[in-house]
Amino acid sequence: MKHDVMITKWMVKIMNDLPTLCPSCRSRLSVKRLTCEKCRTEVEGAYALPPLARLSCGDQAFVVSFVKASGSLKEMARLLGFSYPTVRNRLDGLIERLAEAEEGDEKR
């Protein structure tokens, strides 16, 4: 239990969602500057965020786990301690959000 609480607190600390929409006008944000963590070199430009990066941290963690589980929902359900349909529903929700993101890209 203590370990679980620690994980939850730590998650809150490191799992800030990447802001993807402008807080002022709700338009999509893009990456302007990238920095090398070693030598501090900076690269500036206009880089659009890929659809996966626009997902919430929870969704991104789900995608990574899904790939690591070789795309097996049964294995995902076992790992996460949820039932198969619950995990399946989460994947369906994610597919919907990705489709919406792609639709938004096409409209732009």
CA-closest candidate to residue 108, choices 49, 59, 57: 49
Residue nearer to other proteins on the CB measure, 48 or 96: 96
12-71 residues near other proteins, rule: CB under 8 A: 14-15, 57-58, 60-62, 64-65, 68
Residue nearer to other proteins on the CB measure, 10 or 47: 10
Q: Give CA–CA dist 68/66, Å, rounded.
A: 5
CB count in 10 Å sphere of residue 20: 14
Could you list the residues that contact other proteins (CB under 8 A)? 1, 4-5, 7-8, 10-11, 14-15, 57-58, 60-62, 64-65, 68, 79-86, 88-89, 92
